[in-house]
Amino acid sequence: MGRDIILKQAGHYMADGLKGFLARLSTDDPETNGPRLWVMFAISLFLVATLNWYAMVREPSIVDVDELTDYINEVVKVEGQLISWVEDPYNSGDDRLDAIINDGTGVVELRWYRPAELPPIGTNVTVMGDVIEYEGRMWLQAVGAGAMSWDKEDIPDAPMLAISDVALNPEAYDGKVIQLEGFLSKSIAPDVTFGTARLGDHPNYGNSNHQIGMTIHSATGEWIEAGSKVTVQGVLSYQQRELRWNLAVQGPEIGIDRTHPIEIPLLDWSSQSTWMYSSGRTVDVAGVLSIVDNKWELSGSSGSPLCVLPSEEDLTMADTWNGKAIQMRGRLVWNTAVSSWCLDKAEQSNPALVATSSIDDVLIMLSANPSAVFDSPGQHYIVSAYMKYALEPSVEDESAYFADSAGYTPGWTSIAVTIPGPRSTWLEAGQAVVANVTVAWDDENMRAELLVHELTEGEKTSPMNLLWSDGAIDWGYDKNKIVRINGLAVEENGTWFLSEPGSDKRILLDAVNNCIGLDEIHVGTAMTWEGRLLQVEDSESLTMVYSLSSADVDDNDNDGLSDALESAFGTSSNNEDTDGDGVSDRQEYIDQS
């Protein structure tokens, strides 16, 4: 500030002297009536030189982040901690890096074009740039190597810790830079500029005693396989929305232990609905290879064929492998062009091939930087998620919710989606889905939502067992779901009810056609019924009542005798002719009744 005052005073003295000189030039004195043009030209050169000198001497002011609104369109400096950065944030090929600086009064984004070398996360840096404000958003904008500076003593000491150390006392490391060694829970794609993963203390994610979530800023530049042993450095913080501790790390700085062996999973053809959990991973798959019109497919014991994207080396073996049983290794990816899983052996850069991500990745992007997501309205994401509620068949687009887990858990998070129609089947609550989505803004409800372009249904959850003692309020949480309940079917004036044995509690019973539970040998027996729990209007009482729709009893072997009666009769519910005498279990039950 003192230097600025001195410079301003010097500027005033210079201006006063120049003013007097110009006054003399403007008089009618014959001594000054000469070639004034040359004099004015000399003065202009002097003024330009003076202004250039002032600009070189005067350095930008160091300001706090919370005061930046007073410096719009000015060049300023900010001193703070480098907490994250993303290189080429939109994968557009720009020579640009976005860095986040925290000075204690707030955080500011530095958009740095033609950036130079960066220090580690947690370093105290000084950044310089123009203060830009556009449509309510504000950032610093700079070009070239001089935009960020730091000294060696500004680089933090990052202690190497075990994940269990952090688990014992995470508050002790809150806001600090630490290093952790562990194993990745999922594969990380090379071009994802903002992603998430978990770091565990065991190569098999399910066997980890401790694990911590990570937010990965900036693209890694290479595939990092699930189960890889890595060393990461980042800032530990508590995420209030997720109710968990999280480590913010930089993708290019993840250290990989190349000597650690990585377990390659073998895909199970009978559990294709679970393949999404191996998405993006290098996997093995065995099947019969068929090549027709240059289209490669592997077929297994069940399920849909798996398309194969062969490598150049594979192409030379086409005639040898065609029609033979073979085991192949490649990366499991979702092919949006044909809406199916593919084994990518060519590792080609193809926008139609996308490694699915968790719905958490999109939710975190929306939470961390929603404006950046909306800046790319046409960006497609392939996400794996779960249906929050059951959704009935519809011929029109339908509103629903995706959730990050199959059922309620602490920190359960969901987002509104629009699912296109028509659909002929129910989507069940808790059902796994893989969806091709874009992010949009819902003006009517003032919220972000996902627009589903393609939807692949996955594994459904097991039906919920209802108890009569739970009551109507608790049952409301399972409305529209497939449920199971033990009850006695009774008829009253042509209407069937399912009642609790020995009490007056009952609900409407809407059984499937030809339901064996309502025939002469089953009526009067309490059995477990399975159906969809609906709420319907009772025209007599003008109230809403529960109904078990499309209901049926268990009959695993389809012999017309329910599992409940088979258990009481002593026959097998897995064999329609338990004793092998050529007479079905149902007929034997009838004969002995």
In 12-123, DSSP assigns E strands to: 61-62, 75-87, 96-102, 107-113
Whether residues 379 and 449 share a domain: the answer is: yes
Highest mean pLDDT among 30-34, 520-524, 589-593: 520-524
Q: Which domain holds residue 538?
A: 464-553
* Helical pair 2-25 and 36-57, crossing angle rounded to 10 deg: 180
For 157-200, the pLDDT digits (tens) are: 888 999 999 998 999 999 889 999 999 988 888 888 888 889 99
Residue 470 lies in a domain: yes
- Give the model's confidence band at 380: pLDDT under 50 very low, under 70 low, under 90 confident, else very high: confident
Pairwise CA distance, residues 112 & 376, whole Å:
20
The average pLDDT across 447-455 equals 90
Point out the domain boundary residue: 114, 133, 154: 154
For 472-508, the pLDDT digits (tens) are: 888 988 899 999 999 999 999 889 999 998 888 999 9
Mean pLDDT of the chain: 84
- Number of structural domains found in the chain: 6
Q: What is the CATH number of the domain that holds 515?
A: 2.40.50.140
Q: What is the pLDDT of residue 6?
A: 42
- Nearest partner of 461 among 422, 433, 425, 495, judged by Cα: 433
Whether residues 385 and 422 share a domain: the answer is: yes
Distances (CA, A) of 25 to 33, 40, 466: 8, 9, 102
Q: In the chain, what percentage of residues exceed pLDDT 70?
A: 89
Residue 137 lies in a domain: yes
Whether residues 234 and 302 share a domain: the answer is: no
Whether residues 20 and 99 share a domain: the answer is: no
Helix (H) or strand (E) holding 43: helix 36-57
Residue 577 lies in a domain: no
End-to-end alpha-carbon separation of the chain, Å?
A: 105
Whether residues 338 and 386 share a domain: the answer is: no
The average pLDDT across 244-270 equals 89
Residue 592 lies in a domain: no
Residue 333 lies in a domain: yes
Point out the domain boundary residue: 154, 184, 208: 154
Whether residues 498 and 548 share a domain: the answer is: yes
- Give the model's confidence band at 296: pLDDT under 50 very low, under 70 low, under 90 confident, else very high: very high
Point out the domain boundary residue: 136, 154, 172: 154
- Nearest partner of 557 among 534, 576, 584, judged by Cα: 576
Whether residues 236 and 319 share a domain: the answer is: no
Q: Which residues of 197-218 are buried (b: 16+ CB within 10 A; e: fewer)?
A: bbbbbebebeebebbbbbbbbb
Among 275-279, 314-318, 532-536, 537-541, which is the least confidently predicted range? 537-541
Pairwise CA distance, residues 429 & 585, whole Å:
36
Q: What is the pLDDT of residue 8?
A: 45
